[in-house]
Structure 1
């Protein structure tokens, strides 16, 4: 399983998942430009500049059976990667992400720094201990803004893939409603499931075990493991 993080997030968002997924799943986490060990690289604003090299790295390093998971921006990028990899991907899991043909909404990437920080804090995407470190936040905001520009760039994409999609939604997500997430059904010809969990945009932080359990069940049904 290759996991792709949300806007402003990194591979560390999935560090607790290996124990939850069990020994039958080998977890890989994408480290994107502008964060963690790639902090010195500028974040990019075009999905293709992330998805194309990520797809190439997966093709070179990770054998079948392969599934992809992405949360929020990560869901959109995972979809782009799945489109590029074709039948190498057995299943795509998207989480808290509007279907790509829908407008991202609100244009948060155009907000000033204070407005952008308020927007992300309202969604629950800024850890409380980080809010006290304004200098660190100032270093992270350009990457967050670039990521949100990537999200906005998907508006109108109507590609359809021959890969099953399971979409996860939080009941109280103000950014990607259940209906927004359910619209992923229009982007696959290989089967679609919707899993609704209690919580907001970062519902998976509240009960990661429930999410990883649903992932294990879905992959087992498809015979991936």
Structure 2
């Protein structure tokens, strides 16, 4: 499940890394890629509810969920709705949902929002040269960041193991803020710290997928 402003294509390369024993499914959310004509949602529940239904209908168990940044919050909400169907939840570069965010990037003007995302490393270099395309993508990014801002404060707990990934230099989700996910599960918690910033997983995706593969194998057993 993708980060704010991101799409399923961010994870397509993971198919080879995960190997033939793992079937990769990527969520295509409203407002991006083949659903670009749809309006992006600003409430997590309006994303998670239909997504959970789609998972029930289409995806076989054992099932693990992974979400990066905003995707971590959505994955948590989907796991809450699916209950025992989920073997493991992975959240990445995501502050624990009970922690309220002091940042409000969704309130910035377009130039400020683009600068904010660029400094995080979330805008591909080749896209920066296409201002017209960026202008089309900003409403979806703003909507996604609104989802994050409105989600904070929940104390929900799930009976699903959670593994949380943190980047050592992430300005949006510190190690302590990611470690705080431990209070949202009754089924075991693990913290994995990787070098890098908010988009640390782009530097060494294999280090992330290897952890997911290990969990998938446990689920099969």
**1:1-225 to 2 correspondence within 5 Å?**
4-220=1-217, 222-224=218-220
Report the alpha carbon displacement of residue 155 of structure 1 after superposing the two structures with TM: 1.1
Report the alpha carbon displacement of residue 164 of structure 1 after superposing the two structures with TM: 0.2
| Structure 1 counterpart SS, 2:133 | helix
**Residue correspondences, number:** 221
| Structure 2: runs of 5+ lacking an equivalent | none
Judge conservation of contact 1:123–1:202 (CA < 8 Å) in 2.
Answer: yes
TM-score w.r.t. length of structure 1:
0.96
| Structure 1 counterpart SS, 2:145 | helix
| Structure 1: runs of 5+ lacking an equivalent | none
Over the residues paired in the alignment, what is the CA RMSD in angstroms?
Answer: 0.9
Moved beyond 3 Å, runs of 4+: 222-225
Report the alpha carbon displacement of residue 215 of structure 1 after superposing the two structures with TM: 1.4
Judge conservation of contact 1:90–1:224 (CA < 8 Å) in 2.
Answer: no
Question: Partners of 2:172 and 2:214 in 1: how far apart?
Answer: 27
Question: Partners of 1:16 and 1:217 in 2: how far apart?
Answer: 18
TM-score w.r.t. length of structure 2:
0.98
Report the alpha carbon displacement of residue 64 of structure 1 after superposing the two structures with TM: 1.1
